[in-house]
Amino acid sequence: MESKKVKQIVYEVAIDFAQRGPGWAQQAAVLREAAERLRSQLGTELAAQQAILTAWHDLFLERKLSWGYNLDNPNAPFFHTLKPATSLVG
């Protein structure tokens, strides 16, 4: 499976979970769900796990995700999705 597809699935899970609130917008919850959705294509071996981790970290490097959910949960493992710059309060 292409790394781009893995990243897309991880991102879809992250968006879904972030919309559910801080109890869901956590790293471990997203990674577990992504691994479950990708299990039939990637398996469960170390290489599959590392592909998911790489996709997760790439989403932060690409500024699609950022650490912290809100000011009460400002750090990892909590995260939030980034809005396009045009929609930020200015």
**From first to last of its 90 residues, what are the pLDDT tens digits of the chain?**
899 999 999 999 999 999 999 999 999 999 999 999 999 999 999 999 999 999 999 999 999 999 999 999 999 999 999 976 545 555
Distance CA 53, CA 46 (A): 10
Query: Global pTM?
Result: 0.90
Pick the CATH number of 3-83 from 1.10.10, 1.10.3470, 1.10.405, 1.10.12: 1.10.10
Burial degree of 13 (CB within 10 A; 0-12, 13-18, 19+) = buried
